[in-house]
Amino acid sequence: MVKVLVAGGAGYIGSTVASACLDAGLTPLVLDNFVRGRREFTEGRITYEGDIADGSVVDRIFAEHPDISAVVHCAALIVVPDSVADPIGYYEANVAKSLAFVGHLHRNGCDRVIFSSSAAVYRAQDGSPVTEDTPLAPQSPYARTKAVCEEMFADIAVAGPRVLSLRYFNPVGADPKLRTGLQLARPSHALGVLIRAHQEGRPFPVTGTHYPTRDGSGIRDYVHVWDLAAAHIAAIERFDSVLTGAKRSTAINLGTGSGTTVRELCAAFNNVVSTPLATVDADPRPGDVAGGYTTSDRAAELLGWTPKLSLEDGIRSALDWIPVRDALLKD
Active-site positions? Answer: 142
Nearest to 116 by CA among 274, 228, 271, 278: 228
**In angstroms, rounded to a whole number, what is the distance separating the alpha carbons of residues 57 and 69?**
18
Run of H or E including 234: helix 225-242
Helix (H) or strand (E) holding 199: helix 190-200
Q: Give the type of residue at 102.
A: V
C-beta atoms surrounding 71 within 10 Å: 29
Under 8 Å CB-to-CB from 110, ≥6 apart: which residues?
A: 62, 68, 70, 71, 161
Alpha helices in 108-189 (DSSP H): 141-157
Q: Cβ neighbours of residue 182 under 8 Å, at least 6 residues apart?
A: 12, 174, 192, 318, 321, 325
Neighbouring CB atoms inside 10 A of 220's CB total 25
Could you tell me whether strands 260-261 and 219-220 are parallel, antiparallel, or unpaired per DSSP bridges? Answer: antiparallel
User: How many CB atoms within 10 Å of residue 14?
Assistant: 30
- Secondary structure letter of residue 170 according to DSSP: E
Instruction: Give 285-313 as a DSSP string.
Output: PTT---B-EE--HHIIIII-----S-HHH
Which stretches does DSSP call E strand in the chain?
3-7, 27-32, 46-49, 68-73, 112-118, 129-130, 162-168, 170-172, 204-207, 219-220, 222-224, 249-254, 260-261, 279-282, 293-294
Alpha carbon distance 167, 72 (integer Å): 13
- Give the total residue count for the chain: 331
